[in-house]
Amino acid sequence: MPTSPPAQVTFRPFAGPSDYAAMVACANASFAADETGFFRTEHEVARDYAAFTSCVPERDVWIAQGGSEIAGYVRSWAWAQADGLQLYSQFAVVAPQWRRQGIGTALHAWLEQRQRTQAATEHPGAPRHAHHAYITHGETSRAALLEKSGYTPERYFFAMVRPTLDNVAVFPLPQGLELRPVQPEHYRAIWDAHSRAFQSHWGYCPPDEADYLRWLTSPVFQPHLWQVAWDVQTHQVAGQVRSYVDAAWNRNNGRQRGWTEFISVGEPWRRRGLARALIAHSLRAQAAAGMAESGLAVDSQNQSGATRVYEDCGFAVDRRNCVYRKPLVLVPDRAAAG
């Protein structure tokens, strides 16, 4: 593999909305080559870039320009776990026709330098720092690059699929709970209940008000498909499954798949079969919406036995994805120290 990119490739920052079309073409080519199943549209990228709060694209995106097309690009953003670990995440793609020419290596070097600068200037007081990357099953080249750069697997996540929505088992709701149609006045309670339920989960990051407002207009916000159980006596949200349909994904992949996601049960109502009941209701709602199959993602080390619950509901592991991390050590300011 070349140690430096070809001469016709130049590197530059994000130039604004005029880059969206070429970025989408590059990303979708990369997704297809790695068989990730992902697919982006210009509209989605424009919407997401306009809503970023932890990323300034003009500063945090670096592009490899190959003639008239974008050969690859990376994006950086920062967030913090509840335990204080400051993380610096990354998105990276290289179009298949530009691979094995040193472009990915050059982009990654820029990204790590950007994150080191960000750690030193924006989060110097954090107790710990780490580079963070989520790698899907097919991204073998990128995984190899990360491992060569000192990253190690931190956590595995399963992508699970229920290949049919036929013969969905009936799991009754626990006594004292009921399903209620979702109304606008319920949105905040549903959001807060899900956040509370995940406080003990690995990698938990407390959401803020901007996250809530962004959720209200996100493409996964499809209340007509949600299944929310309420405690009849306390009128609290006991559990939820916030399913959704990604029409663009289905068109690109030639599938009719719904997504059984954002599954949570509050601590007082756990170990009573509520998750199974909500998932069964969700699967039937997806079938009624015209879906033929369903997918979800789960932490392989989930402490509540979620994988077993999903298997009971007809899901099977399809792929294994991985979170890679690498410690980021701040270099002391020698001038200040001396």
Q: Which two tokens stand for residue 13?
A: 């920052």
Q: How confident is residue 136, by pLDDT bands cut at 50, 70 and 90?
A: very high
The answer to whether residue 330 scores a pLDDT higher than 80 is: yes
Is the pLDDT assigned to residue 336 strictly greater than 70? no
Q: What are the extents of the domains in the chain?
A: 9-150, 159-321
Sheet with 128-135: strands ordered across? 9-13, 61-66, 69-80, 85-94, 128-135, 316-327, 152-162, 293-299, 257-259, 244-245
Q: What is the side-by-side order of every strand in the sheet holding 227-231?
A: 177-179, 227-231, 237-241, 263-265
Whether CATH 3.40.630.30 fits 9-150 = yes
Under DSSP, the state recorded for 332 is: P
Q: One fold for both 9-150 and 159-321?
A: yes
Q: Which residues contact 66 (CB under 8 A, 6 or more apart)?
A: 8, 9, 98, 103
**Mean pLDDT rounded to a whole number for the chain:** 95
**pLDDT value for 3:** 66
- Closest alpha carbon to 114 in 89, 133, 135, 97: 89
Q: Which CATH architecture has domain 159-321?
A: 3-Layer(aba) Sandwich (3.40)
pLDDT in tens, 65-101: 999 999 999 999 999 999 999 999 999 999 999 999 9
Asked if residue 53 has pLDDT above 70, the reply is yes
| Proportion of the chain above pLDDT 90, given as a percent | 93
pTM assigned to the model: 0.91
For every residue of 192-210, which 3-state class applies, written as one string?
A: HHHHHHCCCCCCCCCCCHH
